[in-house]
Amino acid sequence: MIPRYSRKEMSDIWELESKFRIWLDIEIAVCEVYAERGIIPAGDLAIIKEKADFSVDRILEIENEVHHDVIAFTTAVAEKVGPASRFIHYGLTSSDVVDTALSIQMKKAGEILVKDLEQVIEVLKDNALKFKDTRCMGRSHGVHAEPTTFGVKMALYYEAFKRSRERILRAIDNISYGKLSGAVGTFSNISPEIEEEVCRRLGLKPDPVSTQVIQRDRHAEYMSAIAITAGTLDQLSTEIRHLQRTEVREIEEPFQKGQKGSSAMPHKRNPILSERITGLSRVIKSNMNVALENITLWHERDISHSSAERVILPDSTIALDYLLGRIVFILKNLHLYPKNMQANIDRTGGLFYSQSLLLLLVEKGFSREDAYRLVQEMAMRVWAREGTLKELTLKSPQVMEKITEADINSLFDINRYYKNIDAIYRKAGLI
């Protein structure tokens, strides 16, 4: 991922220095376990632990000649260690190191994402409580439906991002597996006991059955959790963008001092952060398809997944980390315009009471079909600016024949739409 959309803690995990350092940790851990079982002399292990090191530039220089990154790595380390290096990579195949290290990187990246999500969840909780009673219009198909509150909107995402956190936690658990089982996973030159002990030291579990690689359904599940989180971010950023439109202007993302919205139009205050979230979420979601394609490898393995993973895993984790940081900033600094929210509630002449009126007519003896027809006819007249729904209802002989004016006054009371908000908050554990 380009530096513009990267944060250091996450991007450091994917730097070559970090990757090769994990490779070296794995190689040394294997040597330690071998030494404990008398396979490597103690003196050679001491030399390996003292001298084993590398230079990224040297690895890349060797790789340019041999065209194999693991061979380049072991060769560069051997130059530092000397004769004792013959025990480094003993009994292993390249993917033993590469896949086990990748699991460690994905685990570390996932743990950062969990911390990010906890911050998002916390600010959503704060906003849900702060705006619990801030009334606004609910919309379906972009059209006014019935009233809700902005706090309920925040509570919705509070729950959604809690689910994202749980998905990523499950994905971390499912990717926290190592593999040191040799060329086709049959332990032909290394024992299962070595694998088990090395994985334990690395904070991983041994993959129960592997080929030359850890199977990529694990990686696809990991990417799925990331992509779904990106999708939820896109959903939230799209909500912000819609509500910031001039015709709506119920909320607005932060616009900082000195910020400029347009090179041509000085009045512009554009939702550029939310648009950035939408844009980068598309990249992450597209990477999900690549992860699914990577599941299909020839026989015990091919290498078609490798090049793709060098792009999609760093890019997706780094981008998601960045986006989660951005949404925290947006949510903490949102501008709300309650007067505009109320004006939007009022602008359709009470059309949002249509369902309640329909149900009242049914209760009073109308068939549902007749009640629907009556209310819809009046609603179309409201759209035509012939009056409010309440005014037209009071003027309707068919309706007033069975309904009293007191019924109407009780029905057209907006407070009735908010009588169960506390129940929603209790279900979400917010109160």
For the annotated catalytic residues, the residue numbers are 141, 262
In a domain, 419, yes or no: no
342-356 pLDDT, tens digit each: 999 999 999 999 999
* CATH at 63: 1.10.275.10
Of 68, 87, 106, the residue that ends a domain is 87
Same domain, yes or no: 272 and 397: no
Domain that holds residue 395: 351-411
Same domain, yes or no: 107 and 210: yes
- Beta carbons of 344 and 294 less than 8 angstroms apart: no
Same domain, yes or no: 53 and 178: no
Same domain, yes or no: 266 and 364: no
In a domain, 170, yes or no: yes
* CATH at 363: 1.10.40.30
pLDDT band at 264 (very low <50, low <70, confident <90, very high): confident
For 89, the 3-state DSSP assignment is: coil
* Side-chain-facing half-sphere of 174: CA atoms under 13 Å: 17
- Beta carbons of 225 and 170 less than 8 angstroms apart: yes
For 136, the 3-state DSSP assignment is: strand
* CATH at 127: 1.20.200.10
In a domain, 418, yes or no: no
Same domain, yes or no: 311 and 377: no
Same domain, yes or no: 387 and 241: no
Same domain, yes or no: 376 and 303: no
Same domain, yes or no: 18 and 161: no
Same domain, yes or no: 205 and 124: yes
**What was the pLDDT predicted at 257?**
79
**What was the pLDDT predicted at 256?**
77
How far apart are alpha carbons 338 and 311 in whole angstroms? 44
Backbone angles phi, psi at 251, to 5 degrees: -140, 170
Tally helices (H) and strands (E) across the chain.
18, 6
19-73 pLDDT, tens digit each: 999 999 999 999 999 999 999 999 999 999 999 999 999 999 999 999 999 999 9
Same domain, yes or no: 172 and 34: no
Backbone angles phi, psi at 296, to 5 degrees: -85, 105
pLDDT band at 75 (very low <50, low <70, confident <90, very high): very high
How far apart are alpha carbons 361 and 195 in whole angstroms? 72
In a domain, 229, yes or no: yes
Of 62, 87, 112, the residue that ends a domain is 87
For 147, the 3-state DSSP assignment is: strand
- Beta carbons of 235 and 285 less than 8 angstroms apart: no
Domain count along the chain = 3
How far apart are alpha carbons 126 and 422 in whole angstroms? 16
How far apart are alpha carbons 388 and 411 in whole angstroms? 14
In a domain, 8, yes or no: yes
In a domain, 159, yes or no: yes
Of 36, 66, 87, the residue that ends a domain is 87
In a domain, 417, yes or no: no
Looking at per-residue pLDDT, the higher value among 28 and 257 belongs to 28
- Beta carbons of 132 and 421 less than 8 angstroms apart: yes
221-256 pLDDT, tens digit each: 999 999 999 999 999 999 999 999 999 999 999 987
Same domain, yes or no: 78 and 214: no
pLDDT band at 109 (very low <50, low <70, confident <90, very high): very high
Query: If 0-12 CB within 10 Å is exposed, 13-18 middle and 19+ buried, where does residue 174 land?
Result: middle
| H helices present in 213-349, as ranges | 217-244, 272-293, 304-332, 338-346
The DSSP line for 278-314 is HHHHHHHHHHHHHHHHTT--STT--SHHHHHHHHHHH
Same domain, yes or no: 223 and 309: yes
Q: For residue 54, which of 83, 70, 32, 74 has the smallest C-alpha distance?
A: 74
pTM to 2 decimals?
A: 0.94
In a domain, 422, yes or no: no
How far apart are alpha carbons 193 and 185 in whole angstroms? 14
Sign of the torsion angle spanned by Cα atoms 343, 348, 354, 355: negative
